[in-house]
Amino acid sequence: MRGNDEEALLKFVSTSLQTLGYRVVTANSGLQALSRFAEEPTIALLFSDVVMPGGMSGYKLAEQVHQNRPEVKCYSHPDTLKGRRTGRLSH
């Protein structure tokens, strides 16, 4: 997906999670996500795509988040974060 499709998907997922009672912080790239994690120490879950704009993959983002915040659970498609700390969406 590119352009408007990515924005539409981000909005859909964000709205869906908010409807389920989650507080959602969004980012448009891996670098922006790292910045959000630095600004928001209460973030407990990373939910990302594997391929993202800006050159950083979801794998790399999960690795960097886990280095700085090992308690954060990382979620993506079932096989995408093999060997990394993953979690299911539940509250």
pTM over cut 0.85: no
* Count of the separate structural domains present in the chain: 1
Residue 85 included in any domain: no
- Mean pLDDT, residues 5-18 taken together: 85
Q: How confident is the model at residue 91 (pLDDT cuts 50, 70, 90)?
A: very low
Whether 31 has a pLDDT exceeding 60, the answer reads yes
CA 17/CA 82 separation, integer angstroms: 23
Q: What does DSSP assign to residue 3?
A: T
Residue 51 included in any domain: yes
Q: Where are the beta strands (DSSP E) in the chain?
A: 45-47, 73-75
Query: Which segment of 3-12, 22-31, 37-46, 55-64 scores lowest on mean pLDDT?
Result: 3-12
Residue 69 included in any domain: yes
Q: Which residues contact 57 (CB under 8 A, 6 or more apart)?
A: 30, 50, 51
